[in-house]
Structure 1
Amino acid sequence: MIKKFLFSSLIALCSITSLHAQTKTKDTNNTADPDNLASQYLSQVMGVAVDATSNLKLYKFIYEWIGTPYRYGGNTKKGIDCSAFTKAIYDKVFNTTILRNSRDIFSMVNPLPKDELKEGDLVFFKIKSAKISHIGIFLGNGRFAHASNRGVVISNLNDPYYARYFYKGGRILDSMKDNLIEE
C-alpha cells in the first residue's frame, strides 16, 4: 500500500516538475529528464543524495526491495538475508556474481576504511561476533542498504549501533569481476 502511494506520488511529482520545467524555460529542448526526476524522488524517499553520477539502477533496485522481511537463508521477496540481498544487487545491478556468505564475500574485496568508500562498495560488520556476520551496500553520505532484522532498510554507518560493529568496507577486486564465480 505504501509503495503504491509512493509510486503515485512519484508520477505526480514527475508531472508537476515536468510542467514547471517546461513553463520556466523557453528552450523546448531543455525539458525535465525523467531519470533526474526519479533521482530527486529517490533522494527524498530514501534519504540518500542521488545525483547525476549515481547509479540509478542501484537505487531503483533497492527501492523495490525496501520493507522486504528478513529471513535467515531467504532469497526472495517473501524474506531475504543480508548476504542474499547483497548478492542480488551485484547480480542484477552490477552483472557480477559474488559468493553467498558475508565472510566469503569479504575474501573477494580489497578492504577499505570508511572514509574511502564509494557508492556500490560493500560494508562488513562483526555484530556480537569475532567473525564477519553482516553485510550491506554503501550508498554514499554514510548511508548503506541492507537486510536487517527490520527487513530491507537504509541505515547510517554513523548510527551508534552500526559504528560500534563496523569492521571494514570493501570494493570487489577487478580480478573477481573478470572471473565470475559460480555458486
Structure 2
Amino acid sequence: MRRLILISLLLLLSACGGVTTRPPPAGALVGDARLRPVEDDKTLLMRLYRQHQVWRGTPYRLGGQSRSGIDCSGFVQLTYRSQLGRSLPRTTSQQAGFGIPVNRAELMTGDLIFFKINGITQHVGIYLEQNRFLHASKSSGVMISALDSPYWQSAYWQSRRVL
C-alpha cells in the first residue's frame, strides 16, 4: 500500500515537470513479478544448458558438491553461484523459503521448482523452458527432465523466483 502511494506521488510530481522518472532497473520487483529483459533470459538459458553439458551424468550423492557426486540442492546452489553469480542457501528446505512464490503457469528460465516425493522428501531443480528443468536426480544424476511427465506432475510442490 505504501509503495502504491509513493508511486502515485512520484507520478503526480513527474506530471508537473518537477521530477523525471526512469523505468525500473532489470530485476526490480514490481508487485509479484520481476522485470527481466528477454535477452537476459536467452543468455541465462544458454548458461544453464552449458552447465548441463559440463555436469550431465554426474552421480547423485547426498551432501555432495563435486563432479564425483552432488545432490539436488547442492547442484542448484553451485549452478546459481557459478553461472549466475547469486548465492543461495544450501538445503532444499532453505531454498524453498527463498525468493518469491511464482505460479507454475508463469515459470521463467531460472525459476526454482520444488517437489515432494512420497509427500515427504523434497527435491529442487531449475526451470529451463518448455516445461523442462535441470536437476540432480537420484536415479540418473544431473539431467534434464520434463515437468509435465506423470511422475514430476504428481510430485510438484511449488516454484520460487530468485532472480
Select 2:153's aligned residue among 163, 174, 181: 163
Select 1:82's aligned residue among 66, 72, 81: 72
**Residue aligning to 2:62:** 72
**Residue aligning to 1:125:** 115
Q: TM-score, normalised by structure 1?
A: 0.63
**Residue aligning to 1:17:** none
**Residue aligning to 2:136:** 147
Q: TM-score, normalised by structure 2?
A: 0.70
Partners of 1:77 and 1:134 lie apart in 2 by 19
Q: Please, which moves more after superposition, 121-130 or 85-94?
A: 121-130
Runs of 4+ in 1 over 3 A off after TM superposition: none
CA contact (8 A) 1:91 1:98 kept: yes
Partners of 1:112 and 1:159 lie apart in 2 by 20
**Secondary structure in 1 matching 2:100:** strand
Q: How many equivalent residue pairs?
A: 121
Greater strand percent: which structure? Answer: 2
Overall identity of the aligned pairs, in %: 37
CA contact (8 A) 1:127 1:165 kept: yes
Partners of 2:101 and 2:63 lie apart in 1 by 25
Identify the structure with bigger relative contact order (alpha carbons < 8 Å, sequence gap 6+). 2
Point out where structure 2 has 5 or more consecutive residues left out of the alignment: 1-40
1:54 offset after TM fit, Å? 4.1
- Cα RMSD after superposing both structures: 1.5
Point out where structure 1 has 5 or more consecutive residues left out of the alignment: 1-51, 175-183
**Residue aligning to 1:114:** 104
